[in-house]
Amino acid sequence: MTRVLILSWEYPPLIEGGLARHVRKLAENLVRRDVEVHVLTRGMEESPEEEECGGVLVHRVREPKRPRELGEFVTWVEHMNADMLAAGVELGDQYSFDVVHGHDWLVAVAGDHLAKRFRCPLAVTIHATEYGRHQGWVDKHPQSHIHGVERWMANRADRLITCSAYMRDHVADVYGLEESRITVIRNGIDPSELVPVARLDELRARYAAPDERLVLLVGRLVYEKGFQLALEALPGLIERVGNVRFIVAGSGTHERELRGQATQLGLDEHGTFLGWIGDDVLHSLYRIADLTVVPSIYEPFGLVALEAMASGCPCLVADTGGLREVVPNESVGLRFRSRDPRSLGAMAERLLTDAELRDRMVAEASEHVLTFDWADVARQVAGAYRELARVDARVVRTD
For domain 191-371, give the CATH superfamily.
Glycogen Phosphorylase B; (3.40.50.2000)
The span from the first CA to the last CA of the chain, in angstroms, equals 27
Q: Is 78 helix (H, G, I), strand (E, B) or coil?
A: helix
Q: How far is CA 217 from CA 8, 97, 229, 286, 317, in A?
A: 27, 42, 11, 10, 11
Cα separation, 371 vs 345, in Å, equals: 29
CATH T-level fold of 2-188+373-392: Rossmann fold (3.40.50)
pLDDT tens digits for the chain (399 residues)? 999 999 999 999 998 888 999 999 999 999 999 999 999 999 988 889 999 999 999 999 998 788 878 779 999 999 999 999 999 999 999 999 999 999 999 999 999 999 999 999 999 999 999 999 999 999 999 999 999 999 999 999 999 999 999 999 999 999 999 999 999 999 999 999 999 887 999 999 999 999 999 999 999 999 999 999 999 999 999 999 999 999 999 999 999 999 999 999 999 999 999 998 888 899 999 999 999 999 999 999 999 999 999 999 999 999 999 999 999 999 999 999 999 999 999 999 999 999 999 999 999 999 999 999 999 999 999 999 999 988 765 454 545
Q: In what order do the strands lie in the sheet with 244-249?
A: 271-275, 244-249, 213-218, 291-294, 315-318, 334-336
Give the start-to-end residue ranges of the domains of the chain.
2-188+373-392, 191-371
